Structure formats: C-alpha cells, structure tokens
Amino acid sequence: MSTEKTSVENESKPSCLGAVMPRCSTCKHWKQNTFYDYEGVVNDGFCSELGGEITIELKTGWDGGYVDSIETKSTFGCVLHNEA
C-alpha cells in the first residue's frame, strides 16, 4: 500500500522541482534595457513574445497610481522561453 501512496504523492508534485527554471536573460526574445554593472545587479528588459499573454490593470489618479492586477494566459512563463 505504501508504494501506491508514494507514487500518487510524486504525481502531484511539480515536475520542475529542483530544476533550474529558464531566465529571461537567456532568451532570444528578451532585450535588456538597463545596463548596470555592479555586483548582484538585476537588469530590466522587454520581451517581444509576450504579446497578449499578459494584461496589467492600473488604477490611476491625481496623486499617482498603482498596479491593481496582473492577469496571465496559461501559456505565460517559461513555456515561451527560447534560448539565444
């Protein structure tokens, strides 16, 4: 019985557990737009493949604004990753 339970538990775990997820910085569709060069920096960039995969709703007013929600399609994420 314990063998069945173990296999069922393993099936419910994400398959990428312990694996390194692809990063935007290694994708050919991502273009870096900040070029800071100090230790530990994380630069910004734009993805040309996201297209309609993401919708960001902003709430704005006279004093500024904020992100109200971010909606993604089920295909959003590393499934769009394409190595350079």
Q: What is the pLDDT of residue 60?
A: 94
Q: Please report which confidence band the pLDDT of residue 13 belongs to, taking 50, 70 and 90 as the band edges.
A: very low
Using an 8 Å Cβ cutoff, are 52 and 73 in contact? yes
How confident is the model over 21-75, as pLDDT tens digits?
788 888 888 899 999 999 998 999 988 888 778 888 999 999 999 999 988 887 7
Q: Is the dihedral of CA 33, 70, 57, 64 positive or negative?
A: negative
Q: What six digits make up the tokens of 15?
A: 């398959």
**String of DSSP letters for the chain:** -HHHHHHHHHHHS-TTTTSPPP-GGGBTTEEE-----STT----EEESS-GGGEEEEEEEETTEEEEEEEEE-TT-SGGG--B-
Range of the domain at 59: 2-80
- Tell me how far apart the alpha carbons of residues 18 and 21 are, in angstroms, rounded to a whole number: 9
**What total number of domains does the chain contain?**
1
Q: What is the pLDDT averaged over residues 2-24?
A: 57
Q: What is the pLDDT of residue 19?
A: 63
